Structure 1
């Protein structure tokens, strides 16, 4: 599955049509916080890192992010391609220093 397919399939699971952007942005922040909390507990509290829980939280973050893009008619594949190109350019600039 590519990002565009994921975005379209994820959109089919969206519930409600009011305040979608606000709901998705707040959900993204919340789910990101849960992911960060797993890392914090692993790093500072000595808890084991659950691959299953980490995968779940990453999936939740991905879903909300894909729906922020969908709301604004931004193709998720384009986001991924743009980001990789931007990171390559940044790495190349740093390598030249």
Structure 2
């Protein structure tokens, strides 16, 4: 699936206050969903010895879909296309790989 197509389809399901002028709501939703992903992974470490059984992977796929939905909504609120966001991210990472700065910290390394 094309990322911009996903973004357009996902936008039709957006139901939150001031859709189109509210980047705060999808930002908070993104944080919550990312936390749910982290919590499920934590429980794999705690309860399953680090083994990602098929049901856990399936549950994580659903949570990652929710993360993607909120990323999509935030991008829409900011006037960004997901294809552009993804391409810019790959270009950034390729530049870091060329400069051997993939490790470390900071946005502009």
TM-score higher than 0.5: yes
TM-score relative to the length of structure 1:
0.88
SS at match of 2:65: helix
Instruction: Give, in angstroms, the shift of residue 45 of structure 1.
Output: 2.8
Give the whole-Å Cα distance in 1 for the aligned partners of 2:100 and 2:92.
Answer: 12
Of the structure 1 ranges 85-94 and 37-46, higher mean CA displacement relative to structure 2 is found in: 37-46
Report matched runs for 1:64-83 at 5 Å. Answer: 64-83=70-89
Contact 2:16 2:25 survives alignment (8 Å):
no
Q: Which runs of 5+ in 2 are unaligned?
A: 102-109
Is 1:53–2:59 an aligned residue pair?
Answer: yes
SS at match of 1:74: coil
Instruction: Give, in angstroms, the shift of residue 73 of structure 1.
Output: 1.0
Q: Which runs of 5+ in 1 are unaligned?
A: none
Instruction: Give, in angstroms, the shift of residue 89 of structure 1.
Output: 0.9
Of the structure 1 ranges 29-38 and 15-24, higher mean CA displacement relative to structure 2 is found in: 15-24
Give the whole-Å Cα distance in 2 for the aligned partners of 1:86 and 1:28.
Answer: 22
Q: In the alignment, which of 33, 36, 59 is matched to residue 34 of structure 1?
A: 36
Aligned residues: 95
TM-score relative to the length of structure 2:
0.79
Give the whole-Å Cα distance in 2 for the aligned partners of 1:15 and 1:36.
Answer: 25
Instruction: Give, in angstroms, the shift of residue 21 of structure 1.
Output: 1.6
